[in-house]
Structure 1
Amino acid sequence: MRAARLIRMALLVQSSPGLTADALARELEVSRRTVIRDAQALQEAGVPVRAERGRAGGYHLAPGHRTRLTTLHPTEAETLYLSGLPSALRDLGLSDAADTARLKLSATLLPSLRAAAESSVRRFHLDAPAWFREPSAPELLPELARAVWSDRTVRVTYARPGRDDAVTRLLEPYGLVLKAGVWYVVGRVPAGRDGAWRTYRVDRVTSLTPTEDGPFVRDPSFDLTAHWRANATEFARTLLRSTATLRLTERGLGRLPAVADPAGVAEALASASAPDADGRVTLDLPVESDEVAFAQLSELGADVEVLAPKSLRARFHEHVRALAALYGVADQR
């Protein structure tokens, strides 16, 4: 604890010469007496911190001296570019490195570390989590992140939604994306197979084994941010593997975009019927699964009626019966 405070004090004096004992005490959240003791400890450790009196006084380093504490480890330099989302750093297993880096934020990156910072931008694009939702932290995420950092080919097994069988393939993991609280890995199937790009939800990766080969050769033209922006909508549409036929009131139709997947809503609205005699509109909404559709459409209450599939309609029927029993309403069916 004290060692970290001494490092921070040395960096503060270096980056802001002339800070008084009271100013340093406020920055370090300690007493003025502790600042004086810490200054003496730094002097004994060979850091030439000195206190000067007068209007231009305060704490200074000896002229021409710059502490070597500003030298960043490459991992620290990389994590500076991700420090805006502490939860993401924690999920990736990088929170300790980020804590160390924050002690050195006032120092300028050395030219030799600029490549490390650019490396971070190329490998991670963080799309902020949705409101009222904590990002998921899949068990294999830290290990997958290590493979991304080291350009290590991995063998992954992926559980496909709505199917009992899983798929296993080699993958060159180029980057990780945090989208609305869900982590995705973007990678390429090695040349010699189909060379295609793949995007997987990390929480559906059930096993991961790094290969014994050396690092794969990263395509220098690959831009993770541009790739994600160009393919995110298409990928989101591939997740919608089922269709639900719905009848909606005018209010339900207006609220649908707020509860369902945007890619599916846009397609459904384009093919919606004209209002019937009751003012309800019928449409086919692409959905991921019965479970996901039930969770989304339940928010619309009586403003939506599920016509198909039968399994989803039955789920709503049982839900309504349970609510009626809970609130003492007789079943009218």
Structure 2
Amino acid sequence: MRAARLIRMALLLQSVPGLTAADLARELEVSERTVIRDVQALQEAGIPVRSERGRAGGYRLAPGYRTRLTTLDPSEAETLYLSGLPSALRDLGLSDAADTARLKLSATLLPSLRAAAESSARRFHLDAPAWFREPSTPELLPELARALWADRAVEFGYARPGREPGAPRRVEPYGLVLKAGVWYLVGRNPDAAGTAYLTYRADRITALRTPTDGAFTRDASFDLAAYWQEHSARFALSLLRATVTVRLTPAGARRLPEVTDRAAAERALAAAASPDPGGRVTVELAVESEDIAFAELLPLGADAEVLAPPALRGRFAEHARALAARYCDAGPDAADLAVTAEGVRGGGPAEDQR
């Protein structure tokens, strides 16, 4: 463990001279005290790590020194061949460049490592889009990617569903994210107060152009992965605008995270009171809307009983009556189904009507 960390520290100092103890601690996920001990260990091993004080100080390798720790082991070579999504590279117009890079990398590897790297590509394939959705690549995506690489602002219209594109807006592109087969642009509005980062669906961008005065200086502190994680969590919460009260059997409680928002289901179950004598729990579940709650809870069948709001409970009662009517000729069990549907006809919560 420590040996791998020491190698990574040496490579970091070779790649980014002037890293402070705090920088290295953050990158290596250790304390600053551990960083100081590791620097001493590197120095004792003959690696000339220098410490410089002052505002521009930090740890550096001696001028002209380069480590010989860059040889890949088999697991690293295998992992490197899995570091990109083929569909994403194709969408960005980078598939040819990626193929060439892999060929160059393969040519530099030892024969044993070359075989390990190539075998990983035969065993693993990363497919980003969700099931039952035909992926659509926005026409303007390669142009957006070029502006992103060059740190050049773009101007475009943005067409939300059912609306005409608004006035052109100027955005400094900071990142492109592929989420469940959909591309998103993360950008900063240079005219907004502070650092207002916004997210745009790439397939809604129209009339893209790159102005000649578009060069901008990227904020080096911006962390795309951290921004996206926070944005995704905030967006998911913003969708949950309604609450329904549901009584669940043990089977229904187990299956709830499978049919609705998992985080919302887990929060609801964690906040629920103790089960009743029949083992059922009553939860307050955050949902997008009553319509979506109806569609999501329906697969739970008799393992979920909606108690509130009354309108949603009434929809489930009506659905039960419709099922009873549909299957009235299906056999002797249909009578039991009709009785069950009749039991909730009034629309009010019932304790035990079986």
Range class of TM-score, shorter chain: 0.5 to 0.7
Pairing 1:178-327 to 2, within 5 Å after superposition: 178-193=178-193, 195-202=195-202, 205=204, 207=206, 209-210=208-209, 212=211, 213-276=213-276, 278-290=278-290, 292-309=292-309, 313=313, 316=316
CA contact (8 A) 1:135 1:180 kept: no
AA matched with 1:137: S
SS at match of 1:218: coil
Identify the residue that residue 174 of structure 1 maps to in structure 2. 174
Identify the residue that residue 136 of structure 2 maps to in structure 1. 137
- Percent identity of paired positions between Structure 1 and Structure 2: 55
Change (3 A) 1:195 1:241: farther
Identify the residue that residue 67 of structure 1 maps to in structure 2. none
AA matched with 2:158: T
Post-superposition offset of 1:93: 4.1
User: What are the superposed Cα offsets for residues 47-99 of structure 1, whole Å, 9 maximum, x if unpaired?
Assistant: xxxxxxxxxxxxxxxxxxxxxxxxxxxxxxxxx98863222223434334434
Post-superposition offset of 1:218: 1.5
CA contact (8 A) 1:128 1:178 kept: no
AA matched with 1:225: A
TM-score, L = length of structure 1: 0.52
User: What are the superposed Cα offsets for residues 21-53 of structure 1, whole Å, 9 maximum, x if unpaired?
Assistant: xxxxxxxxxxxxxxxxxxxxxxxxxxxxxxxxx
Where do 5+ consecutive residues of structure 1 fail to align? 1-79, 110-126
SS at match of 2:106: coil
User: What are the superposed Cα offsets for residues 133-158 of structure 1, whole Å, 9 maximum, x if unpaired?
Assistant: 76843546725444433433344536
Partners of 1:190 and 1:303 in 2: how far apart? Answer: 52
Change (3 A) 1:141 1:256: farther
Change (3 A) 1:193 1:102: same
CA contact (8 A) 1:87 1:135 kept: no
Where do 5+ consecutive residues of structure 2 fail to align? 1-79, 110-125, 343-354
AA matched with 1:257: P
CA contact (8 A) 2:175 2:185 kept: yes
**Higher relative contact order at CA 8 Å, sep ≥6: structure 1 or structure 2?**
1
Partners of 1:225 and 1:194 in 2: how far apart? Answer: 20
Change (3 A) 1:156 1:313: farther
Post-superposition offset of 1:249: 1.6
Identify the residue that residue 104 of structure 1 maps to in structure 2. 104
Counting matched residue pairs gives 234
AA matched with 1:157: Y
Partners of 2:140 and 2:316 in 1: how far apart? Answer: 35
SS at match of 2:272: coil
SS at match of 2:174: strand
Pairing 1:15-164 to 2, within 5 Å after superposition: 84-107=84-107, 129=128, 136-137=135-136, 139=138, 142=141, 144-151=144-151, 152-155=153-156, 157=158, 159=160
CA contact (8 A) 1:236 1:263 kept: no
AA matched with 2:302: A
Change (3 A) 1:107 1:158: farther
CA contact (8 A) 1:155 1:209 kept: yes
Partners of 1:138 and 1:291 in 2: how far apart? Answer: 31
AA matched with 1:302: A
CA contact (8 A) 2:176 2:183 kept: yes
Change (3 A) 1:300 1:272: same
Partners of 2:245 and 2:146 in 1: how far apart? Answer: 43
Partners of 2:297 and 2:207 in 1: how far apart? Answer: 35
SS at match of 2:268: helix
Partners of 1:141 and 1:293 in 2: how far apart? Answer: 36
